[in-house]
Structure formats: structure tokens, C-alpha cells
Amino acid sequence: MVDRVRIGILGTGRMARDFATGLRDAPDLELLAIGSRSEESAAQFGDEFGVARRFDDYATLAADPDLELVYIATPHAMHCHNSMMCLEAGKAVLCEKPFAINATESRQVVELARSKNLFLMEAMWTRYIPAIERLRELLADGAIGKPQLMVAGGAYMPDFDPDFYLFDPELGGGVLLDAGVYLVSIASMVFGSPEHILATGSLGPTGVDEHDSVLLTHADGSTAHLYVSLRARASPTVTLLGDRGQIFVHAPLFAPSRLTVTIDGKDETIELPFAGNGYQFQAIEAARCIRAGLTESPVMPLDETLAVMDSMDEIRRQIGLVYPMEK
Ligand SMILES: NC(=O)c1ccc[n+]([C@@H]2O[C@H](COP(=O)([O-])OP(=O)(O)OC[C@H]3O[C@@H](n4cnc5c(N)ncnc54)[C@H](OP(=O)(O)O)[C@@H]3O)[C@@H](O)[C@H]2O)c1
């Protein structure tokens, strides 16, 4: 029997909780440690999820010699610093999306992991959800012929709170980094990197983007039309058109359990339900890679994470969004 991969989490917010819940469906992972900026939050989280080691600062968790993998669940603006701190301490890292604020930061993290020969992965959990695995198989089998066009998007209206990271430029707020990254990533998974990007968006009162429309064009002429908004409501979905038919990825696009394939006007709906909340699959993949001696996942390679961040930078350049720490 293979030893369970011992994992620590940085941060005790919403994602830390969702990830810890997901780990209940990942028997080969042991949630050994939680790190918080506050002793009280670490203790509360530890009690709730039965975590043995509770740290009231992130660096002490990173230094714990018994941990193999650290999952970074802090706001975007901390991802680069937190990932590098863990890598410097010799830990493998699974970092929440967006991987960092921009491509420059992302490259620093990737270069450090590569120089230390340590495992590193963007927590793009959607890639590991069974329905998205099935989507890749359908495309590889030519189910809809050559993919030509994607329409993907979603919109949600959280309560406005200038202190919440989503609206705070100091924390890398805005809808592109929060949700748009899923769309750029799924377009990349299907078409590869775009040759041209055309983006328009509007910034809200705190100066972060609240509404974006993006058109990606690829070298072979295929296109992806992406939209994301904090000013409307629409369940996130993907429609993918090929020269033989189409695939509809039902909501929620981030963790779907249903695909509809349409060929010659005939629909076939494929149900791919999964146990748990879906966050376990990326963790299971990280553990598999670590046990196999891999330093990255072939499903979400680091060069692709960097290419997605390059696209995100270009979209932000076109919509005029520069974060304070980039000025
Ligand atoms: N994969 C997904 O489905 C998904 C969904 C939502 C969000 N995310 C990503 O996950 C990351 C965290 O999002 P979240 O929704 O969990 O945020 P959150 O609820 O605000 O939690 C973030 C945690 O990070 C820690 N933190 C460190 N520095 C902080 C600072 N300056 N301000 C606020 N918190 C700070 C805090 O934990 P301590 O106080 O314990 O240190 C806090 O609880 C984001 O990058 C986001 O993009 C992913």
C-alpha cells in the first residue's frame, strides 16, 4: 500500500473549506496541517475538519518537514509569494486559480519549481472533473469533427463589498481573474494558444473589471467567444461547434456532470455524476503525479498555465486593467 500524501492548506476561507471537504473523497491524501494568519481561525478550521497540526503563520506550515504538498487557498495577490515560500521550503505546491496576478509572477513560480525539481500545478479543478475528461476523449475521437468555434461564458452578481477580494484591486480583484480564467483555460484546452485576442470590458467603482467580452482567434482560424460578468446572471456553460456536430457542456461549467452531443440534429446526453464536491479530483491527480515522480501534471502542464496567463495579461491590457502592485 502506497503512503498517503500528506497535505497542508494555506488560508482558512471559502476555498480552503471546500477543498478540505473534497479531500474526504480522496483517500490517498491526508489533510495533516492548516495554516492561517490567526491562531483562532487555524484552531476553528482544525476542529471542523479534524486537522492535527494548526499553524498561526504560513511560513511555519511551509517548514513542516512532514508535509509533501501545500494547497494555496489565499487571495490571488498572495499566490506568487505563498507558492514561492512553499517551494523554497521544499514542498510540492497546488495553487488556486488564477495561478498568480500576471504572467511575470507566474513565470517566477514555475522557474523556481523547475530549478528545485518540485511538483507544481495550477488548481484548475475543472480539467479533472469526469465530464471534462470525457469531453477531451470525445474531441480526441473526432466525435464532432474538427472544433471550429466555442461560445463560453457565465455571469453572477455577488453583493458589492469593496473589502471582498473580488472587488479589491489590491487583492487582484475583478471578474477576469476570478471566473474568466476558466473560460480562457477551457479554450486553451480545446484550441491551444490564440494567435489574436480582441477584448473589451468595463471597470467598476473600485477599478476592477466587472464585465468582459473576449474573442480568441487561433492559427487555424478557429475562434472562442468568451463572456463573463458581475452585472448579469447566467449559468456558466460551453457550446463547442465542430464540422460534424456540437457539444454542449451543461452548467456549471466549472464542475459539470452532463454533456449533450448533437450530430445531424440528434441529441445524446451523457450523464457523468461524481461523488463529493469535485475538488478532490485535482488533489488526487497531484498525489498521483507526486507518487509517480512527476513535477507537473500532463493534464494541466505548466507551459499551458503560463500561456493562459499571457492571454489574461493581454486581455487586461486591452480592457485597461492594471493592478496597484504592477504600477
Ligand atoms: N476553484 C474554485 O472553485 C474557486 C472558487 C472560489 C475562489 N477560488 C480561488 O481561491 C482563492 C481564495 O478564494 P476564497 O473564496 O477562498 O477567498 P476567502 O474566502 O476570502 O479566503 C481567503 C483566505 O486567504 C487568507 N488570506 C491571506 N491573506 C489575506 C488577505 N490579505 N485578505 C484576505 N484573506 C487573506 C485568509 O485566511 P487566514 O485568515 O486563515 O489566513 C482567507 O480566509 C482565490 O484565489 C480564488 O480565485 C477558487
C-alpha cell at 46: 482544525
Ligand 1 atom 5: residue of nearest CA: 15
Residue 45's contacts (CB-CB under 8 Å, 6 or more residues apart) are: 12, 16, 17, 20, 34, 36, 51, 54
Establish whether domains 5-125+279-297 and 127-276+308-326 are of one fold. Answer: no
Residue 15 alpha carbon, nearest atom of ligand 1: 16
Name the nearest CA neighbour of 95 among 317, 297, 324, 321.
Answer: 297
* Ligand 1 pocket, residue 102 CB under 6 Å: no
Residue 2: the pLDDT is 56
Residue 1: the pLDDT is 47
Residues β-bridged to residue 72: 10, 95
* Ligand 1 pocket, residue 81 CB under 6 Å: no
Residue ranges of the chain whose pLDDT lies below 70:
1-2
Ligand 1 atom 30: residue of nearest CA: 75
Specify whether the CB–CB gap between 116 and 93 falls below 8 A.
no
* Largest separation between any pair of C-alpha atoms in the chain: 60
Domains of the chain: which residue ranges?
A: 5-125+279-297, 127-276+308-326
CATH T-level assignment (fold) for domain 5-125+279-297: Rossmann fold (3.40.50)
| pTM, two decimal places | 0.97
Residue 25: the pLDDT is 96
Residue 28: the pLDDT is 87
Specify whether the CB–CB gap between 84 and 74 falls below 8 A.
no
- In tens, the pLDDT along 253-295 reads 999 999 999 999 999 999 999 999 999 999 999 999 999 999 9
* Ligand 1 pocket, residue 91 CB under 6 Å: no
CA of 196 to the centre of ligand 1 (A): 32
Q: Does domain 127-276+308-326 have CATH number 3.40.50.300?
A: no
Ligand 1 atom 36: residue of nearest CA: 11
For residue 223, CA distances in Å to 36, 44, 150, 253 come to: 42, 47, 6, 19
- In tens, the pLDDT along 293-319 reads 999 999 999 999 999 999 999 999 999
* Ligand 1 pocket, residue 170 CB under 6 Å: no
* Ligand 1 pocket, residue 9 CB under 6 Å: no
